[in-house]
Amino acid sequence: MPELAVLCGIYGTALAIIGLVVYVSLYARPALSFLEAVFHEADAYGPGEVFVPSRRARGELAVWVSFVPFMSVDLRANVDTRVFATDASSRSCAAVATELPEELVRELWRQRLRRGVLQKFAGDASAREPDPNVDEKQCFSWSDGLDADEETSCGFQAGALVADLCESVGWAPVFQYSVRRFEHIVTKEARPICTLVRRLAAEVRPGGSRVLNFADSSTNVGAWAKGRSSSRRLAWLLRQVAPDQLLTDLQVGIPHVPTQANPADAPTRGKPVRRAPLRSERSDLVDALMSGRFDARTDATFAASSRSEALPADVLEPAKGPPVRFRVPASGASQRRRELSHRRRAAARRAATRA
C-alpha cells in the first residue's frame, strides 16, 4: 500500500484512480460499496497539490483491490425464473416468490433500472415514535422536495406495467422475520433484500445467475442499482452482502413496484400471502408479456414506466468545500494509549500544582 498511497497523494492522480476504480466496477457494482472516504479525499485540494491520503481511504482501496480478481461478470449468465418480491413494515419484513417464463424474465432484466442518484433519508425515523396512522413509506421519497406528481414523472410511481404483472400471478412465501420497531424504514426495506442475497449466494450455481427482486422502496431501488449509497446506514447493509455477490457472480436487479401492488406487503402486516392471481383475466399487455411476444408496444410501455428527467445541476457539479471527516471508533489499544496519556498529563499537572 505505500506505493498506492504515494500515487493517491497527487490531486490529478487521485481523480484518475477514482475514475479507473469506477470504470472497472461498472459491471461489478457491489464492489463500489467498499468505497466511501475515497470519493472525498481530494475535495479540499486543487490541481497540483500533494496531500497524504487518510488511513481509511487507503484501507478502502486495499479491500477493493483484493476483490478485483472476482469482478469478472458473465453478461450471459443464466436468469433465474424465480422472481422475488420483498417488503418491510414497522414490525417485520418478508419475501415472496413466483415463477415467470424465462423470456419475460430476460426482458424484465433488460429493462431494469441501471442508474441510481439521490438516495437520501428524508428524516430520521429512529428519533421518533412511529405513528400507526401514517404510512412511513410515503414520508421518504426518491428525492427530497418531490411531491407525488413529480415523483411520477421520474418513473418510480408510473409502475402500472409492473403492478399489472404482479397482480396477474400467484405468489408463495419465502421467509419472514421481525425487525426493530424504531429502525429506519429504508434500512428495514434493505434487510430482506440482504437476506435474499445471502440465501441465493448459498445455492451453488456454475457460471453465476441473474435474479430479479421487486421492491417498493425507491431509495433501495436506486442504491442497489448504483451499487453504493451516501447514507451510512444503507451503505453498511450493502457492504455486508457485496462479497456474497462478487464471489458467487450473483447479479441482482431491483425493479420498482408500487406499494399497493407489492405481493410482499401482506405478510409484513400479518396477512396471508396471496397465492392466487388477483385478477381473473389478464390484460392484453400482460398476456403478450407472458407469451413472450415483445414488440414496439411493449417497449414503449417499458419506456413510459421507466422514464427519467434530466439530473439537477447540483448533482452534476463536483463537490466543493473541506474534506469530509469520518469518525472511526478507536481500537482497544489506541483507547488504552489515550487513557494512559491522559493520566500522565493529569499527574504532571498535580505535581506542578503541589510544587
Residues 24 and 132 in one domain: no
**pLDDT tens readout for residues 186-212:** 999 999 999 999 999 998 777 889 999
Q: What is the dihedral of CA 161, 163, 165, 166, to 10 degrees?
A: 160
User: Which residue from 158, 165, 37 is spatially nearest to 98, judged by alpha carbons?
Assistant: 165
Q: State percent of the chain over pLDDT 90.
A: 36
Whole-model pTM above 0.85? no
Residue 158 pLDDT = 45
Structural domain total, the chain: 2
Q: Got the DSSP string for 276-311?
A: S-S-SS--HHHHHHHTT---HHHHHHHHHTS---PP
- In a domain, residue 317? The reply is no
- In a domain, residue 121? The reply is yes
- Name the more confident of 83 and 289: 83
- In a domain, residue 314? The reply is no
Residue with cell 429506519: 184
**Rounded mean pLDDT of 324-353?**
71
Q: Please tell me the distance from the alpha carbon of residue 16 to that of residue 347, in angstroms, as a whole number.
A: 50
Q: Which of 72, 92, 122 is the last residue of a domain?
A: 72
Q: Got the DSSP string for 244-281?
A: HHHHHTEEEE--B--GGG-TTHHHHTT-----S-S-SS
Residue 331 pLDDT = 52
Indicate whether 134 pLDDT > 60: no
3-state DSSP call for residue 36?
A: coil
Residues 100 and 10 in one domain: no
Q: Which of 57, 72, 87 is the last residue of a domain?
A: 72
Residues 24 and 44 in one domain: yes
- List the CATH number of the domain containing 161: 3.30.420
Residues 112 and 250 in one domain: yes
3-state DSSP call for residue 50?
A: strand
Domain that residue 33 falls in: 2-72
Q: Where residue 349 falls among pLDDT bands split at 50, 70, 90?
A: confident
Instruction: Give the cell for residue 270.
Output: 400479518
- In a domain, residue 326? The reply is no
Residue 318 pLDDT = 54
Q: Which of 267, 283, 304 is the last residue of a domain?
A: 304
Indicate whether 285 pLDDT > 90: no
Indicate whether 1 pLDDT > 60: no
